[in-house]
Chain A
Amino acid sequence: MVLPFPVPPVVGLLLNGDGYYLHWGFFRMSLANLVVVVLMIVVFVAALLAPFPHGRRRSTPPGERS
């Protein structure tokens, strides 16, 4: 299928044709799955470290406001 926008070659490597597999002894993993796992770790660490925008603050729980 021809896409109407330019696609980096790495995307074609990951998504089109046969999967590319990495081997470490008995352990085998596709490059696509490795990319997803690394991305998940990056997002998780970023969520822990990135500052969260603070909105309004209040000192009483809902239901106790006047």
Chain B
Amino acid sequence: MTATGTDRAGAVDGGDPVRPGGPPTRAGGEGGWTGSLRARLTAALPPERALPDAQPAYVASWVYLFGVASLASLAVVIASGVAIALGGVRWWHTTVVGHFLNSVHLWSVELFFFWMVLHLWGKFFMAAWRGRRAATWVTGAVSFLVSVACAFTGYLSQTNLDAEWIATQAKDGINSTGAGAFWNVLDLGQMLVWHVMLLPLAVGLLVVAHVVLVRLRGVVPPIGTADDGRPSDDPAAWR
């Protein structure tokens, strides 16, 4: 769309007066709620900080890779889960492709928890909640707990004797908490919907919030260094 003339707020045809050649915008500021929101988002999380191409020197350790390994595993979990969902609730027992995707889903979940627990150990011993990073720590911990619930409903959704056995063993524990009144582990339909939609959605939103908070606050510096508790975008942390 091409702007012509001058609109009521003073935008002039021919581009941004601040950025010659750029798209037409309102003179003197960001226009409308979209412009205001864009300005606030880019001020809170500039592009070079949202997608950095370098990290502080102290990040040069294998321990810092456990988080991204968890994310990579989660991507495979979601992709294989979506592929499995296409065929219904039993086909992975009877077809070669179903066996393969079932195994990919299982082992990617195993790896997801493997890396996530190592990530948790590393961040615990780093006291990674320092420097206004409490929300980062909490979203990570809660996403771990919700992932456990999601994996549990996955066991219940296998549509085999293993799922029936786990459900009958779990029902008494769940009922003792009172949650059994509305969360029935013997109800395959309910557990399947929780497994394929509600809990993955919760995990996904929590993980996105967790990663955004990591970008906002930066990777936690080592304990006892000059950068202790300082946001990692401080130039002193880059030496």
Contact = CB atoms under 8 A, between A and B. Distances in A.
A62 B114 contact: no
Contacts of B65: 47
Given A60-B238, A61-B238, A63-B46, A40 B118 contact: yes
B235 A44 contact: no
Contacts of A59: 238-239
Interface residues of B, number: 22
B165 interface: no
B48 A63 contact: yes
Interface string B63-94: 10110000000000000000000000000000
A56 to B, nearest CB: 8
A52 B60 contact: yes
A44 B122 contact: yes
Contacts, number: 44
With a 10 A CB-CB cut-off, give which of A36, A44, A46, A59 has the most chain B CB atoms. Answer: A44
A8 to B, nearest CB: 18
B62 interface: yes
B54 interface: yes
B216 interface: no
B34 interface: no
A61 B235 contact: yes
Contact of B63 (A48, A54, A58, A60): A48
B101 interface: no
B114 A36 contact: yes
Nearest to B57: A57
A47 B118 contact: yes
B227 interface: no
Contact of A62 (B52, B62, B66, B121): B52
B61 interface: yes
B54 A40 contact: no
B122 A40 contact: no
A40 B238 contact: no
Contacts of A64: 235
Nearest to B66: A47
B16 interface: no
Contacts of B52: 62
A61 B63 contact: no
B54 A62 contact: yes
Nearest to A52: B60
A54 B61 CA distance: 10
B210 to A, nearest CB: 20
B101 to A, nearest CB: 15
Contact of B114 (A40, A50, A57): A40
B121 A44 contact: yes
Interface of A: 36, 40, 43-44, 46-48, 50, 52, 54, 57-64
Interface of B: 46, 48-49, 52-54, 57, 60-63, 65-66, 114, 117-118, 121-122, 233, 235, 238-239
